[in-house]
Amino acid sequence: MAKTKTVFFCQNCGTSYPKWQGQCQSCKSWNTIVEEVVEKPTSNEVWKATKSLDNTSTHKTPLLLSDIKIGTKQYRLDTKSSEFNRVLGGGLVPGSMILLGGEPGIGKSTLLLQICLNLPFKSLYVSGEESIEQIKMRAVRMPKSSSDLCYLYSGNKTHDIFKQITKIKPEILIIDSIQTLSTDSIDAAPGSVSQIRECTNELLYFAKKTHTPVLLIGHITKDGHLAGPKVLEHLVDTVLQFEGDRNFVYRILRSQKNRFGSTSELGIYQMQSNGLEEVHNPSELFLSKKDEAHSGTTVATIMEGMRAILIEIQALVSSAVYGTPQRSTTGYSTKRLNMLLAVLEKRAGFKLGAKDVFLNITGGMDTEDPATDLAVIAAILSSNEDEPIDDSFCFAAEVGLTGEIRPISKIEQRINEAQKLGFTKMFISKYSKFNEQNYHIELIKISKIEELINALFEV
């Protein structure tokens, strides 16, 4: 039996060391070095298997940019899922490798299985976590529960997977998850730094050689980073993050890195009993439909990536029961709330110092967009005065320390969204610059907090 050899790997950058040390010399991070058993590959059959696959276009000499032809082959593959295409920057690029990360139970497997079922071309879904019967049970819950083009395979050896690939010749490969894979060429445990790196390299080689897109599901660690070496993120072309609060139905698919598109696009989904449903009009998800007007509720326009979303803000101002008034927020920064309360006190003369103030963004959304400031102030004033604000009004402006109402970015997109959803009045900064002729919604331009108070409560 071959002598076992152990090597110490940095989990952050993947550098190897012959013995343990506290700090990685290469990336300077502390306590990231772990011991792993490794055996040098003898005969690497897996590589031979991948090399026997379709062998096209590798250029030995440099070519002029203008001489390079992308080819007649369609450059982006349509996944038939508009949200997924949008996040990828218009579809799957052949030969690209995509890593999808997210907390356990957030819906990663569900998302990719659902995409496979809708694909108009042959796909292979490899699961190292579930049996094919379990995957089938999941598929049965989905709106399109079967497909003649979706192959399922349960296994975790790259060698076996490549064998199946040569037989089936899928046009897209899904791996659920990269942490469960292992290759025979090294002897480390699945999920270890060297295994993850080696398996990813083999899959990357396959993707680039055969122009097949490969989607990897990746686990994340308890502090929210993708598990495995940081090099994994460098190796792949696209890193997607699937996130959301498990107590709420909506899920957001963000792109953290994308070699073939913008990272500011995001996809919004809703987790239902029959799988994930795409949300084309996110504002409807976050705005509650009410029959009566309540004080303390306003609507703000925020930007999530390139999309404008309207969200509801609720404030409750009440006399403090205890000596020190409470300031509590959900989905919003408490520091920012304190700042806005100080501005209201100093610039508009509202004595809120002895009152409890609670602020909540409904639907489990959270935001740091400064454009919510005006809506937050309006909600606080409305609750303080116990005067409801018309539910067809919305707000989009930042509030400065001097009490001035400041313009915000992408105002036109925000106005468009508000107009589309049937809002009648939108409060914006007097200094916002855009072409006003394009809109029929009534725009109320203000420059100071006093003007907001006059416009809302007509005192």
Q: Where do contacts with ligand TYD occur on this chain (CB under 6 A)?
A: 102, 104-110, 138, 141, 271, 273-275
Residue 401 CA to residue 380 CA, distance in Å, equals 17
The torsion angles phi and psi of 454, rounded to 5 degrees, stand at -60, -45
The torsion angles phi and psi of 43, rounded to 5 degrees, stand at -115, 115
Phi/psi region, residue 420 (left: phi>0; alpha: psi -120 to 50; beta: rest), is alpha
- Within positions 230 to 249, which residues make up the interface with Mg ion, using CB under 5 A? none
**Cβ 104 to Mg ion shortest distance, Å:** 7
**Is 161 or 309 the residue whose CB approaches Mg ion more closely?**
161
What mask of x and - would describe binding to Mg ion in positions 77 to 116, judged by CB under 5 A? Answer: --------------------------------x-------
**Cβ 217 to Mg ion shortest distance, Å:** 6
**Cβ 123 to Mg ion shortest distance, Å:** 17
**Is 271 or 357 the residue whose CB approaches ligand TYD more closely?**
271
Query: Which DSSP helix (H) or strand (E) runs through 194?
Result: helix 193-210
Partner whose binding site includes residue 273, from ligand TYD, Mg ion, none (CB under 5 to 8 Å by kind) = ligand TYD
Residue with smallest beta-carbon separation from Mg ion:
109
**Is 109 or 118 the residue whose CB approaches Mg ion more closely?**
109
- Within positions 271 to 330, which residues make up the interface with Mg ion, using CB under 5 A? none
**Cβ 303 to Mg ion shortest distance, Å:** 31
Partner whose binding site includes residue 105, from ligand TYD, Mg ion, none (CB under 5 to 8 Å by kind) = ligand TYD
- Told to check if 180 binds Mg ion by CB under 5 A, we report no
**Is 219 or 230 the residue whose CB approaches Mg ion more closely?**
219
**Is 58 or 273 the residue whose CB approaches ligand TYD more closely?**
273
Tokens of 142: 């989905």
- The terminus-to-terminus CA distance of the chain in angstroms comes to 89
**Is 127 or 360 the residue whose CB approaches ligand TYD more closely?**
127
Residue 223: CA count within 13 A, CB half-sphere: 1
**Cβ 248 to Mg ion shortest distance, Å:** 19
**Cβ 162 to ligand TYD shortest distance, Å:** 24
Partner whose binding site includes residue 18, from ligand TYD, Mg ion, none (CB under 5 to 8 Å by kind) = none
**Is 174 or 374 the residue whose CB approaches ligand TYD more closely?**
174
The torsion angles phi and psi of 172, rounded to 5 degrees, stand at -150, 140
**Cβ 131 to Mg ion shortest distance, Å:** 13
**Is 141 or 259 the residue whose CB approaches ligand TYD more closely?**
141
Q: What is the DSSP string of 122-148?
A: -EEEEESSS-HHHHHHHHHTSSS---T
**Cβ 114 to Mg ion shortest distance, Å:** 13
Tokens of 340: 């806005």
Residue 455 CA to residue 459 CA, distance in Å, equals 8
Residue 315 CA to residue 329 CA, distance in Å, equals 9
Cβ count within 10 A of residue 277? 15
Distance of CA 361 to the CA centre of its chain: 19
Sheet containing strand 275-278, edge to edge, reads 150-154, 123-127, 172-176, 214-218, 97-102, 238-244, 250-258, 266-272, 275-278
**Is 127 or 372 the residue whose CB approaches ligand TYD more closely?**
127
**Cβ 109 to Mg ion shortest distance, Å:** 3
Partner whose binding site includes residue 138, from ligand TYD, Mg ion, none (CB under 5 to 8 Å by kind) = ligand TYD
Cβ count within 10 A of residue 445? 17
Give the residue among 253, 178, 189, 257 at the shortest CA–CA distance from 219.
178
User: Using CA of residue 350, residue 302, residue 111, residue 203, what is the dihedral sign?
Assistant: negative
Partner whose binding site includes residue 107, from ligand TYD, Mg ion, none (CB under 5 to 8 Å by kind) = ligand TYD
Partner whose binding site includes residue 211, from Mg ion, ligand TYD, none (CB under 5 to 8 Å by kind) = none
What are the residues binding Mg ion (CB under 5 A)? 109
